[in-house]
A = this chain, B = another copy of it.
Amino acid sequence: MKSKQLGNGTVLVFDVGDEVVSTLTTFAKDRQISAAHFTAIGAFSDTSIGYFDWEKKDYLKNQVNEQVEVVSLVGDIALDGGNPKVHAHVVVGRKDGTTRGGHLLEAHVRPTLELVLQESGGQLKRKFDQESGLALIDLSQT
């Protein structure tokens, strides 16, 4: 993955084989990003998509083991326990044009992912939420 500051945003271009969530998390840690949002398009060779099961309070996994277009990737970065955490949702387009979508658990880029990241200034912080069992953004903390 290569990145470049452009105006008040940053463009990240991922390489073949890059895992998106871990690569973006490492980037956010290195840059000490505490609040940001992003959009991206590109293509993946395999994608692991999550669905939050409200009854089970856990993520189910839908695996897409084929080359897909990344037709929408929208997400944000906020601090969770002091460290930047990436939260992203994805829609992928298959060979026949049908789509799959959900919470991005893991995905490998092929051949590229073009991501535009906008730092917000200030901080966003997550806090464990008893009812859902998830770490939600808590605006009262910051």
Q: Does more than half of chain A's interface fall in helix, strand or loop, or is it mixed? A: strand
Q: Is the CB of A39 within 8 A of B39?
A: yes
Say yes or no: A52-B69 contact (C-beta < 8 A), given A99-B99, A114-B76, A136-B111.
Answer: yes
Could you say which residues of chain B place their CB within 8 Å of the CB of A76?
41, 114, 116
Residue A81 CB within 8 A of the other chain: no
Option from B39, B99, B139 in Cβ contact (under 8 Å) with A100 = B99
Q: Are B41 and A121 in contact (CB under 8 A)?
A: no
Taken residue by residue from 74 to 103, chain A's Cβ proximity to chain B (1 for < 8 Å, 0 otherwise) reads as 111000000000011111111111111111
A2 at the A/B interface (Cβ < 8 Å)?
yes
* A32 in contact (CB, < 8 A): no
In the complex, the answer to whether A64 meets B100 with C-beta atoms within 8 Å is: no
Q: Which residues of chain A from 45 to 86 have a CB within 8 Å of any chain B CB?
A: 45, 49-54, 60, 62, 64, 67, 69-76
Which one of A99, A122, A140 has the greatest number of beta carbons of chain B within 10 Å? A99
Given A139-B4, A139-B13; A90-B71 close (CB under 8 Å): yes
Q: State in angstroms the CA–CA spacing of A23 and B58 once bound together.
A: 28
Query: Using Cβ atoms and an 8 Å threshold, which residues of chain B touch A52?
Result: 43, 67, 69
Partner of A111, one of B49, B70, B122, B132: B132
A52-B67, A53-B95 given. 5 additional CB < 8 A pairs? Answer: A11-B137, A39-B74, A40-B74, A41-B87, A71-B74
